[in-house]
Amino acid sequence: MECGDGPVPYRFSSPLHRGVLRSRYKRFLADVELENGQQIIAHCPNTGPMSGVCQVGAPVYLSHHPEPKRKLAYTWEMIQVDGVWVGINTSLPNRLVDWGLERGWFPQLAGFSRRQREVTCGKSKIDFLLTGDAGSAYLEVKNTTWAVGSRALFPDTVTTRGQKHLEDLIQIRQQGQRALLLYWINRADCTEFAPGEERDPRYARLFREALQAGVEMLPYRVEVSPTGIRPLGLAKIVV
DNA sequence: GTCTGTATTTTGGAGAGGTC
DNA sequence: GACCTCTCCAAAATACAGAC
C-alpha cells in the first residue's frame, strides 16, 4: 500500500492475526476465534461502549505480543463493520499522532519541532505541548470510532474527563495561547464530524463553546487496514 | 545507561454509605 | 426499600523518578 506523493503511511511492525469476535466482556477482555480455529482471550484496549463497532461474528485483527510479563498475548486492534475496518485501540492514536507529527501528517501543525507528552494543565493533563518556530500550542487527542452514516461522533458516552479537557483548552485560549483538539477518526467511511449530543449534551455544549473561544478542532480521518494506517485529511465539522 | 517501582490513563460495574 | 453519590477496581501501556 503506497501513498503516492502523500504522507508516509504507518505500517504495523509485525503481521496481525485474523479472527472472528465471539464476545466482549469485563471491559478489557474479548473472546476471539482465530483462523486456525483456536479460541483465545484477547486484551481489549478500548474501555468505552464501542457503539456500533462491537459486533459479535465480525472479522477482527489482533496483534501478538508473547512477552512473559503480559497476561494476554493478543491485543485486539481492529474490527470490520459494514465492510470498513475500524481501529479500536485507544492507545494507538496518541502514539500515531506523535509518529505522524515527525512525518508531516498534519499541515495544520507545521512549525512545531519539539513536543512534550502528558503536560499538566489546569485540572487535567493535555496529551501534547508543541513548541517550535510556530510558537507553542496545547494538543489533546481523542479516539473516535462511533459513526452514524458518514458522520463520525464523539463521545459515545458521558465523559467527564473529556469535558474537563474542553474546559482546560478554553482556558488556554482565554490566556492567549493556541489550543487544539484532534479527533482521530479511526475509520475511512466518515467525511463529517459532530459532537455526540445524544450521548453527552454537556460535552456538545462545551464543544461549541470551545469552537467560539478559538480552540482549533481537527477531526482527522484515517484509513485503517490490516497492513497499516493511512492519513486521509480533515473531515467537515457539523455543529 | 539500565532496571525497578509508582502513577496515570481509559470506562462502566459493583459495592458501600448516606438520605428520604 | 428505593434512590443517589462516591470510590474502587479491572488490563495494559506509558511516562517518570529514583536507585544502582
A112 vs A45: CA distance, rounded Å: 29
Same domain, A59 and A125: no
Q: What is the pLDDT of residues A29-76, one digit of tens each?
A: 777 888 888 888 787 887 777 777 877 788 888 887 766 556 677 888
Same domain, A17 and A109: no
What residue numbers bound the domain in which A196 lies?
Answer: 92-237
For A190, list phi and psi in degrees, rounded to 5: -110, 130
Same domain, A159 and A53: no
CATH value at residue A66: 2.40.50.580
For the segment A15-38, the average pLDDT, to the nearest whole number, is: 80
For A97, list phi and psi in degrees, rounded to 5: -65, -45
> Which of the 8 DSSP states describes residue A99?
H
Strand B nucleotides, any atom under 7 Å from protein beta carbons: they are 8-12
The whole-chain average pLDDT of chain A stands at 79
Distances (CA, A) of A113 to A63, A118, A137: 31, 17, 12
Tell me the CA–C1' distance in angstroms for A91 and B8: 13
End residue of a domain, out of A42, A64, A87: A87
- Which among A124, A50, A127 is positioned nearest to A89, based on CA atoms? A50
Q: Beta strand pairing status for A124-132 and A114-121?
A: antiparallel
End residue of a domain, out of A87, A112, A132: A87
Establish whether the CB of A75 is closer than 7 Å to any nucleic acid atom in strand C. Answer: yes
> Which of the 8 DSSP states describes residue A124?
E
Q: Determine the pLDDT at residue A119.
A: 66
Confidence of residue A237 (pLDDT cuts 50, 70, 90): very high
A112 vs A201: CA distance, rounded Å: 34
End residue of a domain, out of A87, A102, A122: A87
Establish whether the CB of A49 is closer than 7 Å to any nucleic acid atom in strand B. Answer: yes
Same domain, A36 and A107: no
Same domain, A81 and A101: no
A57 vs A125: CA distance, rounded Å: 37
Same domain, A39 and A113: no
Angle at alpha carbon of residue A21, lines to A16 and A27, rounded to 5°: 100
Same domain, A67 and A116: no
A142 vs A205: CA distance, rounded Å: 17
For residue A59, the SS3 value is strand
Tell me the CA–C1' distance in angstroms for A141 and B11: 17
Establish whether the CB of A29 is closer than 7 Å to any nucleic acid atom in strand C. Answer: yes
Same domain, A75 and A105: no
CATH value at residue A226: 3.40.1350.60
Q: What total of structural domains would you count in chain A?
A: 2
Q: What is the pLDDT of residues A81-115, one digit of tens each?
A: 888 888 888 777 877 787 777 777 888 888 877 77
Q: Determine the pLDDT at residue A1.
A: 35
Establish whether the CB of A72 is closer than 7 Å to any nucleic acid atom in strand C. Answer: yes
Tell me the CA–C1' distance in angstroms for A26 and C1: 29
